[in-house]
């Protein structure tokens, strides 16, 4: 086993796993070891094992073997295991947060918040699994009965990103397990330690062998195995639109059920009757949490021309006052980007905006600090609509602000994107609340709040931002099939 840094300094060092978790066992890899880097320092944290495609197939075989017994358990018993998993997650929240901050970079308080919000999904689905109801439909003939059963889809493959390395996993795994499915998860290669710690806690919670498996390895090869293995009946993916499209095409081969949670290009609209202070404070949160590496992060701010100068002045002052640094340091508000490539991409977007004649009001460049991948909180105005910063998901601490004259123009600008995940607007007019919420072409709309996700809320996008929903009662639907049963000769 390769070495691992002492920087983790966990209360429970056994949470730090370097092998993969297959069929209830910590299993050595048969592929090349994968280094994990601290994005705040650029220093390696340690290595994790990876699997060959043939070994990933064996993990799916294990999930297939575990399926009949798990599916046959009463939902209440599956819920009890999930509830135990949740309890352990909460008990180990400090360690899980520390692991996350070290491998992902977000401030410790944000990491802890993510752990607890992930745990809330486990609790929700421990209960929701017991409310999977079938139907009895009035039959068209009196000697017959017509019933609809709800059944677990089967073995589910899950692929998750690095930006929420904990909650994205629980958000998929909890409804799948609650429904009676078994899961093979491939987490992001930048943040495997969070996923492996979750597997350790699932093991301790008594989730049976083969029911939840975590594999690591070459992503495209694993994606192909997931698509080709006949036991996999569902793929749930959170990540970029590019990879989402690829996986959707691959899933066509076996007509697998697919959930896709993809990227966003969220507008944040401030109408002329908005509470300006609240709009500024909330836009700072909705833009800069997790250094802007959030699918629902604000990408474009549109402010009514009457408020535009005051909003820009206050927002720019607040952005430039944000404390950028190592997420482990007290007081850090904005951590590093995930890696050098992410930093370069954000730099390119800003350079492109400049080349298009935009003004950089604060920030605009990488921040040489402690060897990490830091970028200054950046505010841009006068970016034309054909600048990349306006059309693409930024995924960094950068935002462009634009003005508008009336509601129709605000809606036109906000909707002028292929993405359709999150949107935000600020108003005190109840009529606008409905007209604008109805007019925005996004899967989620937040009005006078930066809050847009919780276990009780259906989360997901329209247009190229995805297919399906996670959270709420809707989130378990994608892990269930209908079975129609006719009974005759009565
Ligand atoms: P990504 O590059 O698409 O990677 C996501 C996952 O897919 C990772 O586990 C990655 O593995 C894996 N992957 C990469 N290539 C693959 C392939 N050919 N076949 C199978 N799997 C493959 O996205 P990311 O940069 O990690 O995440 C950021 C994106 O996720 C953003 O667009 C963001 O908006 C989106 N996101 C959406 C939501 C939502 O709920 N809508 C939530 C969070 C994030 P490796 O890490 O090993 O490369």
In tens, the pLDDT along 281-338 reads 999 999 999 999 999 999 999 999 999 999 999 999 999 999 999 999 999 999 999 9
* pTM of the predicted model as reported, rounded to 2 decimal places: 0.98
Task: State how beta strands 212-214 and 182-186 pair.
Answer: parallel
Average pLDDT value for the chain: 97
Q: What phi-psi label fits residue 213: left (phi over 0), alpha (psi between -120 and 50 degrees) or beta?
A: beta
The catalytically annotated residue of 47, 110, 128, 261 is 261
> Measuring from atom 14 of ligand 1, which residue has the nearest CA?
219
Tokens matching residue 149: 């059963």
Residues with CB under 6 A from ligand 1: 159-164, 168, 186, 188-190, 219-220, 222-223, 238-240, 243, 246-247, 261-264, 295, 393, 421, 461, 466
Q: Which ligand 1 atom minimizes the distance to the CA of 466?
A: 41
Distance separating alpha carbons of residues 227 and 120, to the nearest angstrom: 30
- State the pairing for strand pair 359-362/366-367: unpaired
Taking the CA atoms of residue 6, residue 8, residue 10 and residue 12 in that order, the dihedral angle to the nearest 10 degrees is -80
295 is catalytic: yes
The answer to whether the beta carbons of residues 234 and 256 sit under 8 Å apart is yes
Query: pLDDT tens digit string along 424-435?
Result: 999 999 999 999
Residue 45, pLDDT score:
97
Q: Do residues 56 and 217 make contact, with C-beta atoms less than 8 angstroms apart?
A: yes
Residue with token string 């005759």: 488
| Residue-level pLDDT at 2 | 67
**In the prediction, which pLDDT does 411 show?**
98
Residue 447 has pLDDT above 70, yes or no: yes
Q: Rounded to whole angstroms, how far apart are CA atoms 241 and 18? A: 30
478 torsion bin: left (phi>0), alpha (psi -120 to 50), beta (else)? alpha
Q: What H or E segment, with its residue span, contains residue 342?
A: helix 340-355
156 is known as an active-site residue:
no
Per-residue pLDDT reduced to its tens digit, 194-234: 999 999 999 999 999 999 999 999 999 999 999 999 999 99
Between CA 218 and CA 202 the distance in angstroms is 24
CA of 238 from ligand 1 middle (Å) equals: 6
Segment 405-427 shows an average pLDDT of 98
Catalytic residue among 47, 103, 156, 295: 295
Tokens representing residue 39 in the block: 């994005």
Provide the β-strand partners of residue 380: 360, 400
* Residue from 444, 464, 65 nearest 243 by CA: 464
| DSSP-derived pairing of the beta strands 444-447 and 422-426 | parallel
Contacts of 140 (CB under 8 A, 6+ apart): 146
Give the separation between CA 98 and CA 252, rounded to whole angstroms.
Answer: 39
Indicate if the pLDDT at residue 483 is higher than 80.
yes
Dump strand ranges (E) for 124-226: 135-137, 145-152, 155-159, 182-186, 212-214
Query: Which tokens go with 76?
Result: 């209440």
How many angstroms is it from 188 CA to the middle of ligand 1?
7
The tokens describing 306, both together, are 């009457």
């Amino acid at each position: 086993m390769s070495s691992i840094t002492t920087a983790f300094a966990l209360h429970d060092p056994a949470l730090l796993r370097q092998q993969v978790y297959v069929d209830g066992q910590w299993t050595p890899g048969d592929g090349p070891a994968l280094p994990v880097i601290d994005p705040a320092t650029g220093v390696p944290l340690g290595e994790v094992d990876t699997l060959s495609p043939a070994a990933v197939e064996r993990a799916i075989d294990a999930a297939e073997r575990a399926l009949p017994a798990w599916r046959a358990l009463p939902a209440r018993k599956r819920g009890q295991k999930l509830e135990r998993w949740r309890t352990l997650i909460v008990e180990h929240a400090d360690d899980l947060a520390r692991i996350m901050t070290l491998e992902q970079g977000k401030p410790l308080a944000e990491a802890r918040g993510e752990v607890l919000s992930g745990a809330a999904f486990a609790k929700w689905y421990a209960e929701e699994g017991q409310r999977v109801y079938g139907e009895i439909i009035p039959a068209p003939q009196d000697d017959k009965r017509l019933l609809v059963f709800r059944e677990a889809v089967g073995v589910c493959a899950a692929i998750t990103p690095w930006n929420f390395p904990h909650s994205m996993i629980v958000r998929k795994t909890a409804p799948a397990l609650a429904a009676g499915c078994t899961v093979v998860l491939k987490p992001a290669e930048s943040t495997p330690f969070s996923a492996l710690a979750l597997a350790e806690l699932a093991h301790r919670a008594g989730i049976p062998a083969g029911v939840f498996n975590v594999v690591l390895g070459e992503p495209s090869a694993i994606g192909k195995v997931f698509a080709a293995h006949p036991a996999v009946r569902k793929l749930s993916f959170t990540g970029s639109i590019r990879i989402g499209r690829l996986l959707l095409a691959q899933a066509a081969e076996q007509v697998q059920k697919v959930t896709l949670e993809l990227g966003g290009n969220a507008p944040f609209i401030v109408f002329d009757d908005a509470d300006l202070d609240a709009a500024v404070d909330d836009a700072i949160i909705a833009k800069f949490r997790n250094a802007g590496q959030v699918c629902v992060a604000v990408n474009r701010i549109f402010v009514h021309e009457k408020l535009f100068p005051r909003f820009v002045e206050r927002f720019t002052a607040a952005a430039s006052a944000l404390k950028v640094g190592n997420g482990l340091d007290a007081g850090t508000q904005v951590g590093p980007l995930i890696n050098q490539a992410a930093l370069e991409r954000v730099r390119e977007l800003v350079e492109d905006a400049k080349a298009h004649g935009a003004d950089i009001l604060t920030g605009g460049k990488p921040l040489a600090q402690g060897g990490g991948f830091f970028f200054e909180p950046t505010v841009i105005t006068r970016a034309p609509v054909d600048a990349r910063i306006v059309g693409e998901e930024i995924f960094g601490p950068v935002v462009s602000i634009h003005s508008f004259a009336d509601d129709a123009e605000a809606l036109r600008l906000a909707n002028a994107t292929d993405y359709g995940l999150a949107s935000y607007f600020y108003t005190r007019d109840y009529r606008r609340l409905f007209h604008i919420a109805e007019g925005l072409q996004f899967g989620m709309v937040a009005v006078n709040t930066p809050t847009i996700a919780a276990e009780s809320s259906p989360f997901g996008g329209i247009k190229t931002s995805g297919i399906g929903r996670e959270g709420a009662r809707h989130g378990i639907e994608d892990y269930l099939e209908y079975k129609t049963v006719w009974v005759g000769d009565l």
